[in-house]
Amino acid sequence: MLLIQITAAQGPAECELAVRLTLRELLRDAERAGVQLHEVQAVRTAAGYKSVVLQVRPAPQRHARGQAQDDATLLQPWLQSWLGSIQWVFASPLRPGHRRKNWFVAVQRCPDWEPGEQPPGHADAQGIGDDAIVFTACRAAGKGGQHVNTTASAVHAVHQASGIAVKVMAERSQHANKKLARALIALRLAERAQAAQAHARQARAQLHWRVDRGNPVRVFHAKAPL
């Protein structure tokens, strides 16, 4: 999932208004460029937005022309024209007579793996088929290393995509141990996915507070921004 964020960071209410204006211009430019934007998360304020997170996708017809490329590669030229600080020049409609007329916001690429998305290798127990796991039958070991049964009911399971491995000998039948192994692997995958998602959220929160007030990639002028 390709995500971008428009943020006012710690800027005043005029910057929140500038986020709303930037979103409007971004949507217009995306439509012209054959890019689809979908709002994922927004922090709204009286003046506009503190921040907006958008999912970015190529329009279906554009995606069909570039089937061999992933979304990030296909959209890179358009994304680069927006990523960075955005400068808005207007007299504050919120504080008449205020001397400041330059307001900065940022358009940023968000880290991958957001809540609700399945990272690579993630699956639930029902979604993990035997073709995704290499099972090796082995005998269950008892105290002192002796084998507690003469049949190979225990299983050693390796999830090929992630490398996660478990050994299960809790059940008497191999079928039951395979089922338990799939559940354990699903649990490990879920834990890994949650950790990755938490890291992505933290990284996005850190991005929210960063706006470079200089060298803007785009400059807009507005006479009556409200």
19-23, 40-44, 193-197: range with highest mean pLDDT? 19-23
pLDDT confidence bin for 124, thresholds 50/70/90: very low
The residue that leads in pLDDT, 125 or 182, is 182
pTM strictly above 0.75: no
CA atoms in the 13 A half-sphere facing the CB of 150: 0
Query: Domain residue spans in the chain?
Result: 3-115+208-221
* pLDDT computed for residue 175 by the predictor: 85
How far apart (Å, rounded) are the C-alpha atoms in residues 166 and 184?
7
* pLDDT computed for residue 114 by the predictor: 43
Domain 3-115+208-221 has CATH 3.30.70.1660: yes
Does the structure show a pLDDT above 60 at 101? yes
The sign of the CA dihedral 18, 24, 26, 32 is negative
State what percent of residues in the chain have pLDDT above 90: 38
